[in-house]
């Protein structure tokens, strides 16, 4: 589906007409990311991150496929094969640093993308399916990243794998059997490494498949926008190409600039030094931490220190998975029909507390499991769950939202979104002006 | 329904966390964690200025050669360098003939097989070989080193927090155990066979001080071989062994950055240009 005023694909060259009648692939592209996809005209830079996450996925697959030509998934030589890539393979060092930092940048982009979704309420009807598919991609990404981190077979690879797979051991009765089944043994070794490599190669293509479903689902209602008001007329939209291809081009430039700075000037900054020590099952590192993008979840896992009905470890595992599972129900937990947090005065402060809360959890997750970090992460985990499960349902019921603009065009005319505002329009915010102009 | 279930799930998590929090707080008050010598006396590495630092950093070839000499004459007695090949030394400015001579004259020989009998044997190194390990295996290494295992040095500056600065501080940081440490923690006396070093995580390291006196290594380029100089040189050398492509990386990084800067400016200008008509059209509507 698209809006009735969407431009139609009209092949001009005879060959394109010939092709269109037999394999309408150019038509598909035109309607998906070309002139045939009308997009709200008021999108801000936060709407760049969908395209950027697609770029990050492509970068990971391209570099990963080449790295896999030189990597050996065998516990006796895996570490050596990574050093072989770093030293003897042409451009191997660059590919590996691009891949390792690419994972971090993928998560940075995805986290900003999720932030945008939560702030502007993109998860609400009619875009629930886009949000749910996005969460599926996020879970697949986490699994892929975790298994990828095991492949270099350094100390943190080995001990990270051991800690994370032991989480399944917390499940009552069947936990131990599941853990042994997943690892193919009692501790990570050849069987685990080999299957992690296989799955690490497979899952990105599964992600690519879900991405196609997600874009498909997105094109039914069309993109959301910063006002949260749905598109009403042709003047609310612009064709994706050239307006947003141009804007995404600039976004890609900035993204690659930051990426290049990390890859070439601080390639190991986001990694852990212990992973340059070969895996040794007999020597436990002083501090076992996952990669930075898992820190908030790791902090929640470690926050449960007391057995209460269930063992502490099981509570931690439930909370860690629960923190993401609850996101699947967000559309039904948040009853407010207002999408953008800009118009939700009561919800807004709680939302920002939650953002700070996640950052605090991230800091605690990267620290030693000792006081005061445990106590801080206990409070922060409490807020995490209270925010979604207790505060949000109540706030969304009692809140009185600010008046919404009548349409996207009207809010643009007000200069509310500076980027798409017409020349000369001031920065009038909604709510400060009693009557809409015109 | 979802909201009601969610409400009780949230309440449950909060309750368990509250119990954990108050238990933790109670323990903290009644039984505060004891202070440890490691926490109080451990030092962070001193900053080390190397030519290779920073986004434009390049290796100082003469320094790398001096550092290699220190490795050869001091470290290599116990520490392997298994990811580095003799041929790689050409990066330090040695000629093919010099590399060949270094490999040929390396004291430790390569393990091999006697071609006539099939018995284990040794042979001289050639440039294509990696540096041979000083011990045949871990058991031999531990037996010769008071049950401590000298780690491989190839990746040392990437495998420790602080990198080259840590290596430099560690090998030049040996000293007597401070009297105040013993006064405060009488049980923390450095055990026999270990050596006090505040830059080492648990303060007591098995490695004896490797650089003990000025002039331990005779430099041929006129540099004064003080302990600090030798420590700096070998830290620079180990920066190279851990990251031999550093110069290439910096060079390509600068080029890629400039390219993308131009790319971003151009795409920004085209973005503004394309949107200008849309904005003007709106202003006149």
Contact: B55, A319; criterion CB under 8 Å: no
Instruction: Name the residue among A273, A319, A412 with its Cβ closest to that of B159.
Output: A273
Answer yes or no: A247 catalytic. yes
Residue A322 lies in a domain: yes
- The enclosing H or E element of B113 equals strand B110-113
Answer yes or no: A233 catalytic. no
Q: Does A325 touch chain B (CB under 8 A)?
A: no
Cβ-Cβ pairs closer than 8 A, A with B, add up to 175
With a cut of 70, say whether residue A54 has pLDDT above it: yes
Which residues, numbered 2 to 21 in chain B, qualify as contacts with chain A under a Cβ-Cβ cut-off of 8 Å?
2-3, 6-7, 9-11, 13-21
Structure confidence at residue A428 as a pLDDT band (50, 70, 90): very low
Residue A22 lies in a domain: no
With a cut of 50, say whether residue A7 has pLDDT above it: yes
Q: Does A276 touch chain B (CB under 8 A)?
A: yes
Structure confidence at residue A369 as a pLDDT band (50, 70, 90): confident
Which residues, numbered 381 to 400 in chain A, qualify as contacts with chain B under a Cβ-Cβ cut-off of 8 Å?
381-382, 385-386, 388-390, 393
Question: pLDDT tens across A29-43, in order?
Answer: 999 999 999 999 999
Name which of A258-262, A377-381, A423-427 the model is least confident about.
A423-427
Residue A7 lies in a domain: no
CB neighbour list of residue A338: distance below 8 Å, 6 or more residues apart? A121, A228, A344, A401, A404
Using alpha carbons, select from B192, B107, B185 the residue that is nearest to residue B146.
Answer: B192
Q: What is the mean pLDDT of residues A407-417?
A: 76
Residue A13 lies in a domain: no
With a cut of 60, say whether residue A429 has pLDDT above it: no
* Residue span of the structural domain in which A241 resides: 37-420
Q: Does A331 touch chain B (CB under 8 A)?
A: no
CB neighbour list of residue A109: distance below 8 Å, 6 or more residues apart? A49, A52, A53, A56, A255
Report how far residue A381's alpha carbon sits from residue A376's, in angstroms, rounded to the nearest whole number. 9
Return the CATH number at A150. Answer: 1.20.810.10
Structure confidence at residue A426 as a pLDDT band (50, 70, 90): very low
CB–CB of A361/A300 below 8 Å? yes
How deeply is B47 buried, as exposed, middle or buried, from its count of CB atoms within 10 A (0-12, 13-18, 19+)? exposed
Report how far residue B26's alpha carbon sits from residue A260's, in angstroms, rounded to the nearest whole number. 48
Using alpha carbons, select from B157, B170, B88, B182 the residue that is nearest to residue B129.
Answer: B88
C-alpha B199: how far from chain center = 13
- For the entire predicted model, the pTM comes to 0.93
Q: Does B255 touch chain A (CB under 8 A)?
A: no
Using alpha carbons, select from B269, B23, B276 the residue that is nearest to residue A250.
Answer: B269
Distances (CA, A) of A329 to A386, A389, A406, B3: 14, 10, 29, 9
Question: pLDDT tens across A306-339, in order?
Answer: 999 999 999 999 999 999 999 999 999 998 999 9
Q: What is the mean pLDDT of residues A352-373?
A: 94
Which residues, numbered 192 to 211 in chain B, qualify as contacts with chain A under a Cβ-Cβ cut-off of 8 Å?
201
Question: pLDDT tens across A266-301, in order?
Answer: 999 999 999 999 999 999 998 999 999 999 999 999
Report how far residue A78's alpha carbon sits from residue A91's, in angstroms, rounded to the nearest whole number. 19
Q: In chain A, which residues have their Cβ closer than 8 Å to the Cβ of B155?
A: 83, 276-277
In DSSP terms, B122 is beta-bridged to: B111
Token code pair at residue A59: 């970068």
Token code pair at residue A354: 């939650």
Structural domain count of chain A: 1
Report how far residue A402's alpha carbon sits from residue B67's, in angstroms, rounded to the nearest whole number. 68
Residue A23 lies in a domain: no
User: Closest approach of chain A CAs to the CA of B104, in angstroms?
Assistant: 22
Residue A436 lies in a domain: no
Residue A3 lies in a domain: no
Average pLDDT, chain B: 94
Report how far residue A15's alpha carbon sits from residue A9's, in angstroms, rounded to the nearest whole number. 14
With a cut of 80, say whether residue A2 has pLDDT above it: no
Residue A150 lies in a domain: yes
Chain B's closest residue to A276, CA to CA, is: B159
């Amino acid at each position: 589906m698209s809006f009735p005023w969407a431009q139609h694909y009209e092949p001009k060259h005879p060959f394109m007409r010939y092709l269109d009648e037999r394999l309408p692939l150019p038509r598909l592209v035109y309607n998906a990311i070309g002139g045939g996809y009308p997009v709200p005209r008021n999108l801000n830079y936060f709407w760049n991150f969908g395209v950027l996450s697609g770029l990050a996925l492509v970068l990971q697959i391209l570099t990963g496929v080449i790295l896999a030509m030189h990597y050996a998934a065998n516990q006796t030589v895996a570490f050596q094969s990574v050093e072989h890539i770093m030293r003897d393979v042409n451009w191997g060092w660059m590919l590996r640093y691009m891949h390792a930092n690419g994972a971090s940048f993928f998560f940075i982009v995805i986290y900003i993308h999720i932030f945008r979704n939560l702030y502007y309420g993109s998860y609400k009807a009619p875009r629930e399916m886009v949000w749910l598919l996005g969460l599926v991609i996020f879970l697949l990404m986490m699994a892929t990243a975790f298994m990828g981190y095991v492949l270099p077979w350094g100390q943190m690879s080995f001990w990270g794998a051991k800690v994370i797979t032991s989480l399944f051991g917390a499940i009552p009765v069947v936990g131990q059997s599941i853990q042994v089944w997943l690892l193919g043994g009692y501790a990570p070794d050849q069987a685990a490494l080999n299957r992690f490599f296989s799955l690490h190669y497979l899952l990105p293509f599964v992600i690519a498949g879900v991405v196609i479903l997600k874009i498909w689902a997105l094109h039914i209602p069309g993109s959301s926008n910063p006002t949260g008001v749905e598109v009403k007329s042709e003047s609310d939209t612009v064709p994706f190409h050239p307006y947003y291809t141009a804007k995404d081009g600039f976004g890609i430039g900035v993204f690659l600039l930051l990426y290049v700075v990390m890859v070439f000037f601080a390639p190991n900054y986001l990694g852990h030094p212990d992973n340059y020590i070969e895996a040794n099952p007999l020597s436990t590192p002083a501090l076992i931490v996952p990669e930075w993008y898992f820190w908030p979840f790791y902090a929640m896992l470690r926050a449960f220190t007391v057995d209460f009905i269930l063992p502490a470890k099981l509570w931690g595992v439930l909370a860690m998975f629960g923190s993401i599972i609850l996101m699947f129900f967000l559309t039904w937990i948040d009853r407010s029909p207002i999408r953008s947090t800009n118009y939700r005065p009561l919800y807004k402060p709680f939302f920002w507390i939650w953002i700070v809360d996640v950052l605090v959890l991230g800091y605690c997750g990267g620290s030693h499991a000792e006081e005061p970090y445990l106590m801080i992460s206990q409070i922060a985990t409490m807020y995490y769950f209270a925010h979604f499960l207790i505060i949000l349902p109540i706030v969304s019921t009692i809140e009185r939202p600010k008046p919404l603009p009548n349409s996207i065009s009207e809010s643009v005319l007000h200069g509310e979104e500076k980027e798409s505002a017409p020349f000369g329009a001031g920065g009038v915010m909604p709510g400060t002006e009693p009557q809409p102009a015109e | 329904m979802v909201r009601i279930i969610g409400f009780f799930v949230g309440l449950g998590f909060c309750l368990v966390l509250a119990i954990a929090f108050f238990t933790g707080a109670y323990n903290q008050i009644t039984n505060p964690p004891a202070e440890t010598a490691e926490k109080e006396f451990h030092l962070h590495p001193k900053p080390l200025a190397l030519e290779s630092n920073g986004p434009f950093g390049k290796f100082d070839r003469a320094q790398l050669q001096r550092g290699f000499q220190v490795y050869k004459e001091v470290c290599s007695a116990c520490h392997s360098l298994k990811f580095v090949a003799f041929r790689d030394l050409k990066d330090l400015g040695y000629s093919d003939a010099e590399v060949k001579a270094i490999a040929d004259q390396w004291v430790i020989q390569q393990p091999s097989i006697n071609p006539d009998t099939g018995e284990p044997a040794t042979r001289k190194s050639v440039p294509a070989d990696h540096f041979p390990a000083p011990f045949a295996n871990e058991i031999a290494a531990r037996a010769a080193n008071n049950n401590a295992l000298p780690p491989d040095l190839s990746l040392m500056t990437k495998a420790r927090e602080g990198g080259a600065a840590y290596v430099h501080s560690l090998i030049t940081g040996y000293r007597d155990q401070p009297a105040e440490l013993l006064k405060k923690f009488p049980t923390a006396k450095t055990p026999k066979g270990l050596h006090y070093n505040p830059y080492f995580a648990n303060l007591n390291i098995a490695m004896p001080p490797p650089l003990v006196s000025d002039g331990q290594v005779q430099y041929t380029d006129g540099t004064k071989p003080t302990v600090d100089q030798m420590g700096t040189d070998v830290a620079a050398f180990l920066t190279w062994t851990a990251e031999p492509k550093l110069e290439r990386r910096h060079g390509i990084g600068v080029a890629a950055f400039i390219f993308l800067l131009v790319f971003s400016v151009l795409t920004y200008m085209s973005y503004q240009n394309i949107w200008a008509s849309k904005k003007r059209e709106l202003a006149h509507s």
